[in-house]
Structure formats: C-alpha cells, structure tokens
Amino acid sequence: MPAADYLVTIGLEVHCQIRTATKMFCSCRAGFGYAPNTNVCPTCLGMPGALPVLNEYAIERTILAGLLLGCSIPPVSKWDRKNYFYPDMPKNYQTSQLDLPLCIGGSVPLYEWNFPAGAAVSQAEAGVVRRVKLDHIHLEEDAAKLTHFAGYSLVDYNRGGTPLMEIVSAPDLHTPDETYAYLKSLQQIMVCAGISNADMEKGEMRCDVNVSLRPKGQEKLGEKIEMKNINSMSAARRALIYEIHRQAEELDAGIAQEQSTRRWDDTLGESIVMRTKENAHDYRYHTCPDLIPIHTASLVQKVRQEIPELPDARRNRLIAEFGLPAADAATLVADAALYDFFEQTVDAGAPARKAANWVINTLTAVLADKETDAAKCPVTPHHLAGIIDIVEQGIVSTNQAREVLDLIWGHPELDAAAAADQLGFKKTDAGALEMLVDAVLAENPDMVELVRAGNTKLINALTGKVMKASNPKPNPKLVTQIIISRFPGI
C-alpha cells in the first residue's frame, strides 16, 4: 500500500545549549570560539575528588523555558548519573535527570509563518496552527566535542560540562513539514526569551528525531526508528521524508521494522543503521550522590516575574498596536536581531509602518548585499529613523534615501540630514519648483501637446528635464505631482 495508507508518528528530542557565562557544575567559562581545551578545570575534566557546584542561573533558565511552554514545575527535581564510556565524557557518566526532571508536560506552538514554503497548513488562530505536546524538559551537561580524522580523533573539553536543556516532545508530530515548523518555532521562542542562541550551525541546538509508521486503523504504534544529531531544520525534514518512504516501502514488501538507531547522511541523502535494540546502550542510571535535590518553589516564584513576550504575542501586538500587515509582523518576529532593529527605530521616532517597511525591504536587502546581519550593521536604528524623517519631510525621495543610507554605511559618523546635505539633497522650495516646472513646460510645447493628447508616458520625460534643470535636486515624486497638476483632466 502507498505511504498515504500509513499513520506517521514523529517525536523529537531537542538539545539546546543555555546561554550562561559559566558551565553547569564549575566556574569555567562557557561559550563558543575559544582555543581548544582552554576552559577546563578538575571538575569538568572528571578528576578524582573534584566535586560539582550547581549553576543556579541555568536551572532558572530551564524553569523559564518550562513556564513559557506551559509545563508544570514539580516542587522537587533531582540529578541522575547516566553511565557510559566514551572520550567525550571523562567522568564516564553524564550528570542528567531521569525521573524527576525540572519541567513536565507543556506544549510547543507551531507558528504559521514557520512552515516551509508550499506546505499544507491548516487554519491558524492568532498565528498558532496547533500546539505539539511535550513530555518533559530536563537539564544536563553537554559532552566534549570530538572531531574525527582518518585514523585518529581530537577532543575539545571546552564544551564538556556546558548547561544543556533537553526538550522532549510527546509522539505528537505527524509530518516532516510540522517537524520543521516545530524546530523553527522552538528556536524562535528560545532566542526571543534569551534562553539560548539556538544556532544549529554552531551546535547550540541539535535534534534527535524518531519516527514510526503503522497501518491506518492500527492502534499500537509501529517500531520506533531514531536518527541522532541532525544539525539543521531542513536536514531533519529531508531525513524524515526519506525515512517515511523507506519504512513504507519495506512494510509494503512485508519487511517488519525493528527498533533501531540510524545515522542520517545529509550528503548521501540516506539513513544508515547504527545499532538495533539488542545492542542498545544500558546506561545504568542512578541518583547522583554528589548533588542534593533541587527545591524549585522559590526559583519558580523568581522566574515568574521575568516572563518575556512570546513570538506569537509579539506578532499579535505588532498587528494590533501598529497596524502592521500580518506578513510583516511575522517577518520581524522570525528574526530577533531584525525585530530589535525595528523596535529601536520606532523608539528613535520613526512611524512603525514606515520603519517596518524600511527594515524588511531595504535594510534586509542591503544586509544581504553586504553579507552581514542587523546586529553588525554600521547604520544604526537612529540613522534609519533620521532617513525615514527626511523622506517624510520631502527632502529626499525614496531612491535618494537609499543613496543616503549607502553614504552612512561608510561614514556612520554622519547623521541622515548631514549625509543628505553632502549628497546635495535639499528640501525643495515649493514656489521656486513650480516656477521651474512652468518654465520647462513653456520650453517644450510639443511635448505638452502630446501629453494633453493622452501620451502620459511623457510626464516622466518632463520630470527628468525638471530634475536636470534643478540644483539642488528636488524630490522627483514632488516634481511629477506638480507636472500632473498642470494637466487637469488627464
């Protein structure tokens, strides 16, 4: 039977590095981009006798994630040791949480703007298509980073011991497109709340995907196939599309599926079996004797005071408060740096709709052109508010404003008015401009006749003539308007 006759069930385990200054159980610096093995100490290297000290901030961030996603926070949470032997974990166990995690239940909203292009999306309510159930969120330490070469591997313990949140969904996803939207929505929530940078390219967010198929009408879930460490959202989607087809084909051919772990090779575009149930790890979990259980009540009370605005609430506010079109609001919400730029431009005095338009259309095009992002842009929100202001005042046209922006890019010491001045753009004296228009029309009687006869295309040519005759350069839109006013009835 075709793939459409199977019910697909997908579950996700997403690892998210928490944005903290230091590691989970020691005071070593956490973060990306340091020389290998420079942020280490006896605790995160697992030296005998070295004891852990909790990073309270990481616990608070995990509780914040839980509250944002509607989880319940149990009064007591505890630490467990997950035993395994591998060079990325020098203690031979990872400190994690098994049966008393920090957050239980909850859900992740699927935002309508996060589905891939062309996906069939059901009706959204205030931007949310539906909520995907979570099983729990727990906190653990990250392992060290291994880099494999031919015949040997190198290990960097800088990442070892970094606070890592694991967000475990219920088996409540059903399509590769939904999975993509889930990852993107979760990432936006984490970034928006400042919990994690969640940059998948830097490994700050990673995911394990599991998927099973069962014939329609069968209640019991099919055998679960897991794919580990997928490092981009589009790779997760590709892996699932492949795996659903592979399993459907095998089931059609009468080949029963066996619970197993596979590796997704994004270059080859196929998944390869790594291990089956018989040789699955036995982690011999047990309660960590070095760490006392966490009593969460006072932390929950503290974190409740600082719950930020979620992306859907932000999008709805942009629509209600500023009258932004839904698509513009979604674009701003999807990129935290772009949103901050917009908000600061509005704070600097620009009208919101104009600011949104400039940020979404012009600024993103310039940033793409210069291969940089909003956070590193030399043109500040204050500059942009100034540019919008001189356009509004009629000192420059939209095209001229783009020249102003380009000049400021290389000379950020200039403000918009000074840059416009340097480019020779000045506010037009309306009376003088009208006289100039009339003079140009008088000099071109043939063209005037043709326009009167209905050849309105010539208005552009007349505008060009007026522009050429003026110094400083007026706003061409204004010139066109004056010319049109000289031809009543066309």
Hey, how many other C-beta atoms are within 10 angstroms of the C-beta on 285?
A: 15
Cβ contact 30:4 at 8 Å: no
The distance of closest approach from Cβ of residue 336 to Zn ion in the complex, given in angstroms and rounded to an integer, is: 30
Q: Select from 40-48, 171-179, 283-291, 370-378 the region that touches Zn ion (CB under 5 A).
A: 40-48
Preceding amide of 472 cis, omega within 30: yes
Nearer to Zn ion, 22 or 261 (CB): 22
Position 26 contacts Zn ion (CB under 5 A): yes
Q: Which two tokens stand for residue 62?
A: 């995990």
Closest CA to 103 of 80, 129, 137, 75: 137
The distance of closest approach from Cβ of residue 263 to Zn ion in the complex, given in angstroms and rounded to an integer, is: 30
Own/partner pairs, 230-233, CB within 8 angstroms, 24+ separation: 230/206, 230/264, 231/200, 231/201, 231/203, 231/206, 232/200, 232/201, 232/266, 233/180, 233/183, 233/184, 233/187, 233/200
The distance of closest approach from Cβ of residue 95 to Zn ion in the complex, given in angstroms and rounded to an integer, is: 13
Instruction: Name every residue whose Cβ is closer than 8 Å to that of residue 315 and which is 6 or more positions away in sequence.
Output: 111, 113, 127, 326, 329, 330, 332, 333
Phi-psi region for residue 70, left (φ > 0), alpha (ψ -120 to 50) or beta? left
Cα 271 to Cα 245: distance, rounded to the nearest angstrom: 11
The distance of closest approach from Cβ of residue 61 to Zn ion in the complex, given in angstroms and rounded to an integer, is: 19
Q: Select from 21-29, 284-292, 294-302, 406-414 the region that touches Zn ion (CB under 5 A).
A: 21-29
Cα 99 to Cα 229: distance, rounded to the nearest angstrom: 23
CA of 200: how far to CAs of 29, 69, 145, 207, 266, in Å?
21, 20, 15, 9, 15
Q: Which of 8, 12, 28, 333 contacts Zn ion by CB under 5 A?
A: 28
Q: Select from 4-12, 33-41, 195-203, 345-353 the region that touches Zn ion (CB under 5 A).
A: 33-41
Q: Which two tokens stand for residue 315?
A: 């999008």
Cα 23 to Cα 157: distance, rounded to the nearest angstrom: 11
Position 239 contacts Zn ion (CB under 5 A): no
Q: Which two tokens stand for residue 192?
A: 């928006």
Q: Which two tokens stand for residue 337?
A: 């740096």
Nearer to Zn ion, 43 or 185 (CB): 43
Q: Which of 41, 54, 170, 337 contacts Zn ion by CB under 5 A?
A: 41
The distance of closest approach from Cβ of residue 145 to Zn ion in the complex, given in angstroms and rounded to an integer, is: 15
**# residues near Zn ion by CB under 5 A:** 5
The distance of closest approach from Cβ of residue 35 to Zn ion in the complex, given in angstroms and rounded to an integer, is: 15
Nearer to Zn ion, 53 or 484 (CB): 53
Hey, what's the torsion of the CAs at 12, 74, 76, 196, to 10 degrees?
Answer: 50
Q: Select from 26-34, 398-406, 450-458, 466-474 the region that touches Zn ion (CB under 5 A).
A: 26-34
Nearer to Zn ion, 127 or 160 (CB): 160
Nearer to Zn ion, 49 or 151 (CB): 49
The distance of closest approach from Cβ of residue 48 to Zn ion in the complex, given in angstroms and rounded to an integer, is: 15
Q: Select from 43-51, 198-206, 269-277, 293-301 the region that touches Zn ion (CB under 5 A).
A: 43-51
Using DSSP, state whether 363 is helix, strand or coil: helix
Nearer to Zn ion, 18 or 483 (CB): 18
Q: Which of 18, 44, 67, 330 contacts Zn ion by CB under 5 A?
A: 44
The distance of closest approach from Cβ of residue 28 to Zn ion in the complex, given in angstroms and rounded to an integer, is: 3
Cα 152 to Cα 112: distance, rounded to the nearest angstrom: 45
Nearer to Zn ion, 57 or 322 (CB): 57
Q: Select from 28-36, 89-97, 241-249, 384-392 the region that touches Zn ion (CB under 5 A).
A: 28-36
The distance of closest approach from Cβ of residue 157 to Zn ion in the complex, given in angstroms and rounded to an integer, is: 8
Nearer to Zn ion, 145 or 174 (CB): 145
Ranges of beta strands (E only) in 277-405 are: 286-287, 294-295
Nearer to Zn ion, 140 or 178 (CB): 140
The distance of closest approach from Cβ of residue 89 to Zn ion in the complex, given in angstroms and rounded to an integer, is: 14
Nearer to Zn ion, 160 or 176 (CB): 160
Q: Select from 41-49, 68-76, 234-242, 384-392 the region that touches Zn ion (CB under 5 A).
A: 41-49
CA–CA–CA angle 45, 36, 196 (5° rounding): 85
Nearer to Zn ion, 141 or 243 (CB): 141
Q: Which two tokens stand for residue 328?
A: 């513009």
What does the per-residue mask of binding to Zn ion show for 407-446, with x meaning CB under 5 A? ----------------------------------------
Phi-psi region for residue 269, left (φ > 0), alpha (ψ -120 to 50) or beta? left
Q: Which two tokens stand for residue 217?
A: 């009408």
Establish how many alpha carbons lie within 13 A of residue 476's alpha carbon, considering only the half-sphere containing its beta carbon.
14
The distance of closest approach from Cβ of residue 51 to Zn ion in the complex, given in angstroms and rounded to an integer, is: 12
The distance of closest approach from Cβ of residue 14 to Zn ion in the complex, given in angstroms and rounded to an integer, is: 25
* Residue written as token pair 């969120």: 137
Are β-strands 260-265 and 225-230 bridged in parallel, bridged antiparallel, or unpaired?
A: parallel
Residues numbered 80-109 forming contacts with Zn ion, rule: CB under 5 A = none
Cα 107 to Cα 281: distance, rounded to the nearest angstrom: 29
Nearer to Zn ion, 91 or 246 (CB): 91
Judged by the rule CB under 5 A, the positions of this chain that interact with Zn ion are: 26, 28, 41, 43-44
